[in-house]
């Protein structure tokens, strides 16, 4: 039995809360701080920073996603041949949008992210602490796990010292449990994507997952779980839609209006490695050394364009999604100036074409306009797949 | 008067020809051939008698011959975006049948990729393994965000060196000879020391060598570390430069302005850029790029010392704050009148931070800084007219700063006639 419907209340409550978190992040932060006057807020660049460390410090982790701001002041810091998220996020920082934060953690997602972290450290350290969770670039070695465990211990200690708190294994175990529950619910949400399409098109699904990086898990999880609990079968939803898999990088999502075009063009997104990148990690083991458990879980997650694994390959993950969702095609969403994704694209396209899988490449940035040609291309692709 | 050609350049050219011929011969004889990133302790491979080739060096050579656009177009036709590094596009262009000055590189049995220079190389070398069906050894060298390397980073890198040695033993079918490795490391240290001393002599004012001439002679320190040939080249270069300094030889004419260069050169315009600057009495006397090969390796503790040196020698793996400190030190050492930063769209890890670097150097060193937009091998990304205009405006700023007035150039006299 396929598909779904929920009572309007659970769906509306979830979407309203997520929309508010995404549209008014500053106001939401201020409210949260009013409710938790002694607590801290730690920003992080999406998406591989282990938020367990932040929760273990009693702080609110909040993702820094950039947005459709006109970049002008950031031009004095970052060249134009970089992806839009690093430029727009820097523009927001220069406007003081993150001055409420106590610290910002960067992951070394790619060369641009490493350098932007460094530029922020140079220019914004008086406003908030800037540090890097220097994740390993390769995920296929025991040495990577040992290294990352030590690095997480260093970051945890540095962050706790900055925030004036202590981070003990008990607090970290609680944080791990909280994030495991968050991840499990988000993955349940994603795994019911095919059945969700009737009530939750791609743009809404992306908003729900993105809001999960902005809201405190204790506020967010009850809303998401209530929605999941009320999902009921509804066999009508998928039949008129064309099932596709969407592939991209979780650190930068297209504008919601861009994502809404999938629905408009008649697609049901039945699988992806775009949204799963935000929540697709494995559960972190409990008991034992929590840092080692976090490190091990990171190396066991789904394949990522920006991490190397000798035997786990990204095209296999996409093909698996394609097969499970009985998809008819694959759409690649590539951020402009994203070197890792442009590299992967050549090989991923070849793997799809080797198997006769129709595919479409769309590039994007955070510009909220000019989506007409995108819709035309999506509609043309839909006609091919019909 | 045109500058004298360095006698050592003839030796360097012979050594590099022999090196490429030797690799080709080794492949023909069935010996193992590896490809490696340039920032990788290939002394390990040299000690195991594995021939090592460097696709970055090959792409740079293609760039010096002006092949970047044609090779890039072949790579783009094969599906690689123009938004990727042009070194990779040059390499793929050659693999797609494009022209190479060396006739391409012999196919590798294994590829080694260290991540200190960038994350791009990982994607590049993943593509190489798919293309050649060979093994890939990634040596992850974490970014030194705080400016200093952490103990767990060193342990991590050393563990991967040991893993690399085990891979080499498996590939060659021979146990790794640690005594031979020590000898190779001694040669490596000697070559590195001569290289460093050559750069120090190059910093003499007036300079006995132009940066272009040093670049022409840098093949062995990139490709032949751990060999006697590299030691011979840099011993010879050091002796020749010492003589030049002793005799008061000046490599770049009147040297009205001594400039320091940051980032990889415009490989396709080494000569023309020098001439263009030379018309204004300006010479590039030093470059950050050359210092990526200044390392102190310790034969007594080779793996740990290499972990430290290889992951910190390149500015790309260090914070912008660290790069600013390093640049300011070098500008002072070279008594430079200005800094030219190549905002290289093909090398984001070295190009990002340029605007902070410009502000910091102008403030701390009191010298004007010029940023040139460009690309290391794809000349299509460089506007010749924009470069010319920016250089002329920059020279005016240098004139005002150093001499307090504007000077009418030969070029302007001709233009006014």
Q: Say which range, A191-200, A216-225, B150-159, has the weakest mean pLDDT.
A: A191-200
Q: Can you give the pLDDT at residue B125? A: 98
Is the Cβ pair B163, A141 closer than 8 Å? yes
Instruction: Give the mean pLDDT of A34-55.
Output: 93
Nearest residue in B to A132, CA atom? B145
Task: Determine the structural domain holding residue B53 and report its residue range.
Answer: 7-413
Interface of A with B in 337-376 (CB under 8 A): 337-340, 342-347, 349-350
Q: Are B405 and B397 in contact (CB under 8 A)?
A: no
pLDDT tens-digit series, residues A371-385 = 999 999 999 999 999
- Give the closest-approach CA distance of A137 to chain B in angstroms: 6
Chain B nearest-CA distance from A325, in A, is 27
pLDDT band at A148 (very low <50, low <70, confident <90, very high): very high
The confidence score (pLDDT) of residue A343 equals 95
pLDDT (0 to 100) of residue A281: 85
Higher pLDDT, A281 or A42: A42
Q: Is the minimum CB–CB distance between A137 and chain B shorter than 8 Å? A: yes
Give the lowest-confidence range in A34-43, A341-350, B402-411.
B402-411
DSSP state of B318: B
Token reading at A70: 């006109």
The closest of A250, A207, A218, A275 to A21, measured between CA atoms, is A207
Give the closest residue to A215 by CA, choosing from A246, A177, A257, A186: A186
Mutate to test the interface with B, among A48, A76, A79 (most CBs of B within 10 A): A79
- Helical spans, DSSP H, in B78-210: 86-95, 120-132, 151-172, 178-202
Q: How far is the C-alpha of A91 from the C-alpha of A75, rounded, in Å?
A: 8
Measure the CA angle with vertex A303, ends A298 and A304; round to 5°. 85
Q: Most A CBs within 10 Å: which of B72, B82, B118, B142, as the mutation test of the A interface?
A: B142
For B404, phi and psi rounded to 5 degrees? 75, 10
Tell me the average confidence (pLDDT) per consecutive run of 10 residues in chain B, 417 residues long: 80 96 94 96 96 96 97 97 96 97 93 96 97 96 93 98 96 96 96 96 92 93 97 98 94 90 94 91 94 90 94 92 97 97 96 97 97 96 92 94 69 46
Residue A309 sits at the chain B interface (C-beta within 8 Å): no
- Polymer length of chain B: 417
Alpha-carbon distance of B95 to B62, in angstroms, equals 13
In this complex, the residue of A77, A342, A349 whose CB is nearest that of residue B355 is A77
DSSP string of B303-315, one letter each residue:
HHHHHHHHHHSSG
Token pair of B200 as six digits: 């120090």
| Domain annotation covers residue B338 | yes
- Find tokens 């002006």 and name the residue: B66
Nearest alpha carbon to residue A112 among A338, A313, A304? A338
With cut-offs at 50, 70 and 90, classify the pLDDT of residue A239: low
The answer to whether residue A292 neighbours chain B at the CB level (below 8 Å) is no
What's the gap in Å between the CA of A122 and the closest CA on chain B? 7
Q: What is the mean pLDDT of chain A?
A: 90
Q: Provide the phi-psi class of B141: left if phi over 0, else alpha when psi is between -120 and 50, else beta.
A: beta
Local confidence band at A192 (pLDDT 50, 70, 90 cut-offs): confident
Can you tell me the distance from the alpha carbon of B172 to that of A60, in angstroms, rounded to the nearest whole number? 53
> What is d(CA A48, CA A151) in angstroms, rounded to the nearest whole number?
14
Say whether B145 and A121 touch across the interface (CB within 8 A).
yes
Q: Which of B140, B152, B349 sits opposite A137 (nearest CB)?
A: B140
Please check whether residue B2 lies inside any domain of the structure: no
Tokens of B39: 């920032």
Is B46 inside any structural domain? yes
* Segment holding A112, helix H or strand E: helix A111-124
Evaluate whether ipTM surpasses 0.85: yes
- Within 10 Å of residue A104's Cβ, how many Cβ atoms? 27
Smallest Cα–Cα separation from A84: which of A365, A364, A370, A371? A365
Q: Which residues of chain B make contact with A141, given a CB cutoff of 8 A?
A: 140, 159-160, 163
Residue A271: predicted pLDDT: 85
Q: How far apart are CA B309 and CA B295, in angstroms?
A: 6
Q: Is A125 helix (H, G, I), strand (E, B) or coil?
A: coil
- What is the DSSP annotation of A184-227? HHHHHHHHTHHHHTTT--HHHHHHHHHHTTTS-HHHHHHHHHHH
Question: Which residue from B minimizes the CA distance to A117?
Answer: B145
Q: Kindly determine whether residue A81 and residue B348, on different chains, have CB atoms separated by under 8 Å.
A: yes
Q: Give the nearest chain A residue to B381 (CA atoms).
A: A81
pLDDT at residue number B189: 95
Name, in order, each residue with C-beta under 8 angstroms of B291's C-beta and a sequence gap of 6 or more. Answer: B199, B313, B326, B330
Instruction: Give the relative orientation of helices B302-312 and B151-172 as an angle to the nearest 10 degrees.
Output: 110
Confidence of residue A46 (pLDDT cuts 50, 70, 90): confident
Chain centre distance of CA A383: 30
Q: Could B153 and A134 be called an inter-chain contact, meaning their C-beta atoms sit closer than 8 Å? A: yes
Query: Are the beta carbons of A143 and B159 separated by less than 8 Å?
Result: yes
Say if the Cβ atoms of A79 and B122 lie within 8 Å: no
Residues of B in contact with A159 (CB under 8 A): none
Q: Is the pLDDT of residue A357 over 70?
A: yes
Cα–Cα dist A243/A202, whole Å = 12
Q: Tell me, yes or no, whether B351 lies in a domain.
A: yes
CB contacts, 8 Å: B316 with chain A:
111
Residue B1, domain member (yes or no): no
Classify residue B307: in a domain, yes or no: yes
pLDDT in the model for residue A199 = 65
Token pair, residue A74, equals: 């950031």
Segment A24-37 mean pLDDT: 90
Which residues of chain A neighbour B119 with C-beta distances below 8 Å?
108, 110-111, 114, 137, 306, 340
Beta strands in chain A (DSSP E): 41-44, 60-63, 103-106, 129-132, 242-247, 267-272, 329-335, 359-364
Identify the CA nearest to A60 among candidates A34, A26, A35, A32: A32
Peptide bond into B206 cis (omega under 30): yes
> What was the pLDDT predicted at A234?
53
Q: Which residue of A has its CA nearest to B157?
A: A143
- Please name the residue of chain B whose CA is at the shortest distance from the CA of residue A75: B355
- Contact state of B79 with A343 under an 8 Å Cβ cutoff: no
Q: Does A50 touch chain B (CB under 8 A)?
A: no
Average pLDDT in the A237-250 region?
A: 82
Alpha-carbon dihedral B230, B232, B233, B237, rounded to 10 degrees: 140
* Total tally of structural domains belonging to chain B: 1
B285 belongs to a structural domain? yes
Total count of residues recorded for chain A:
386
In this complex, the residue of B83, B126, B156 whose CB is nearest that of residue A308 is B126
Residue A250 pLDDT class (50, 70, 90 cuts) = confident
Is residue A41 predicted with pLDDT exceeding 80? Answer: yes
At residue A272 the predicted structure's pLDDT band, cuts being 50, 70 and 90, is confident
| Residues facing residue A267 across a β-bridge | A242
In a domain, B239, yes or no: yes
Which residues of chain A neighbour B130 with C-beta distances below 8 Å?
347
Please say whether the beta carbons of A98 and A79 come within 8 A: no
Q: Which residue has the tokens 């040093």?
A: B214
CB contact under 8 A, B126 and A79: no
Q: Which helix or strand (DSSP H or E) is residue A322 part of?
A: helix A314-324
* pLDDT of A2 strictly over 50: no
The answer to whether residues A155 and A131 touch, using CB atoms and an 8 Å cutoff, is yes
Q: Is the pLDDT of residue A98 over 60?
A: yes
């Amino acid at each position: 039995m396929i598909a779904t419907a929920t009572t309007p209340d659970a769906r509306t409550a979830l979407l309203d809360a997520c929309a508010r978190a995404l549209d008014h992040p500053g106001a939401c932060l201020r409210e949260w701080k009013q409710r938790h006057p002694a607590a801290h807020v730690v920003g992080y660049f999406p998406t591989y920073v282990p938020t367990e460390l932040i929760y273990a410090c009693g702080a609110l982790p909040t993702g820094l996603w950039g947005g459709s701001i006109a970049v002008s002041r950031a031009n004095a810091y970052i060249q134009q041949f970089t992806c839009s998220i690093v430029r727009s996020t820097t523009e927001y920082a220069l406007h003081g949008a993150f001055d409420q934060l106590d610290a910002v953690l960067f992951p070394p997602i790619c060369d641009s992210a490493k350098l932007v972290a460094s530029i922020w450290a140079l220019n914004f350290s008086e406003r908030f602490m800037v540090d890097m969770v220097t994740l390993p670039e390769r995920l296929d070695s025991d040495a990577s796990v040992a290294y990352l465990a030590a690095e997480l211990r260093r970051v945890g200690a540095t962050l706790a010292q900055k925030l004036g708190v202590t981070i003990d294994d008990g607090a970290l175990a609680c944080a791990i449990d909280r994030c495991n529950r968050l991840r499990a619910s988000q993955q349940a949400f994603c795994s019911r994507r095919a059945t969700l399409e009737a009530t939750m098109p791609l743009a809404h699904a992306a908003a729900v997952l993105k809001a999960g990086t902005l809201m405190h898990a204790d506020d967010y999880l009850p809303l998401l779980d209530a929605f999941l609990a009320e999902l009921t079968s509804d066999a009508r939803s998928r039949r008129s839609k064309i099932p596709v898999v969407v592939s991209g990088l979780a650190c930068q999502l297209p504008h919601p209006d861009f994502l809404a075009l999938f629905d408009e063009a008649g697609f049901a997104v039945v699988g992806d490695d775009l949204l799963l990148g935000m929540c697709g990690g494995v559960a972190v083991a409990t008991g034992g050394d929590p840092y080692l458990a976090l490190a091990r879980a990171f190396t066991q997650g789904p394949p990522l364009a920006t991490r190397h694994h000798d035997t786990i390959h990204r095209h296999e993950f996409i093909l698996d999604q394609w097969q499970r969702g009985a998809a008819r095609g694959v759409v690649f969403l590539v951020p402009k100036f994203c070197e890792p994704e442009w590299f992967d694209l050549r090989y991923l396209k070849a793997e799809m074409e080797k198997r006769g899988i129709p595919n479409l490449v769309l590039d994007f940035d955070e510009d909220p306009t000019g989506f007409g040609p995108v819709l035309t291309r999506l509609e043309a692709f839909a006609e091919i797949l019909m | 008067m045109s500058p004298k050609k360095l006698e050592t350049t003839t030796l360097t050219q012979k050594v590099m020809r022999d090196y490429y011929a030797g690799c080709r011969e080794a492949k023909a004889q069935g010996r193992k051939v590896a490809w490696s990133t340039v920032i990788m302790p290939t002394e390990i491979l040299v000690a195991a008698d594995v021939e090592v080739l460097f696709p970055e060096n090959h792409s740079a050579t293609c760039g010096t011959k002006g092949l970047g656009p044609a090779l890039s177009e072949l790579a783009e036709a094969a599906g690689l975006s123009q938004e990727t590094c042009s070194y990779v596009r040059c390499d793929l262009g050659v693999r797609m049948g494009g022209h190479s000055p060396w006739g391409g590189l012999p196919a590798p049995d294994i590829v080694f990729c260290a991540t200190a220079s960038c994350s791009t190389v990982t994607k590049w070398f993943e593509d190489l393994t798919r293309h050649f069906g060979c093994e890939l050894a990634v040596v992850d060298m974490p970014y030194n965000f705080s400016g200093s390397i952490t103990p767990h980073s060193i342990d991590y890198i050393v563990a991967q060196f040991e893993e690399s040695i085990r891979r080499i033993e498996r590939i060659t079918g021979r146990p790794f000879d640690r005594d031979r490795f020590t000898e190779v490391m001694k040669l490596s240290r000697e070559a590195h020391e001569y290289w460093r001393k050559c750069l120090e002599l190059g910093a003499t004012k007036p300079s006995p060598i132009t940066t272009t001439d040093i670049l022409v002679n840098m093949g062995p320190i990139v490709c032949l570390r751990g060999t006697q040939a590299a030691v011979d080249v840099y011993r010879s270069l050091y002796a020749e430069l010492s003589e030049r300094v002793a005799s008061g030889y000046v490599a770049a004419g009147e040297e009205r302005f001594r400039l320091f260069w940051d980032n990889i050169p415009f490989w396709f315009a080494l000569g023309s850029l020098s001439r263009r600057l030379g018309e204004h009495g300006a010479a590039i006397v030093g470059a950050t790029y050359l210092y990526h090969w200044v390392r102190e390796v310790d034969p007594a503790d080779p793996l740990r010392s290499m972990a430290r040196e290889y992951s910190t020698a390149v500015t790309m793996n260090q914070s912008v704050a660290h790069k600013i400190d390093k640049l300011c030190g070098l500008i002072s050492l070279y008594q430079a009148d200005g800094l030219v930063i190549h905002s290289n769209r093909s090398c984001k890890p070295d190009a990002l931070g340029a605007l902070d670097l410009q502000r910091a150097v102008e403030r701390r060193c009191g010298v004007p800084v010029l940023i040139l937009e460009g690309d290391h091998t794809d000349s299509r990304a460089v506007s010749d007219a924009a470069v010319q205009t920016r250089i002329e405006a920059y020279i005016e700023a240098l004139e005002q700063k150093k001499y307090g007035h504007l000077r009418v150039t030969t070029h302007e006299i001709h233009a006014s006639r």
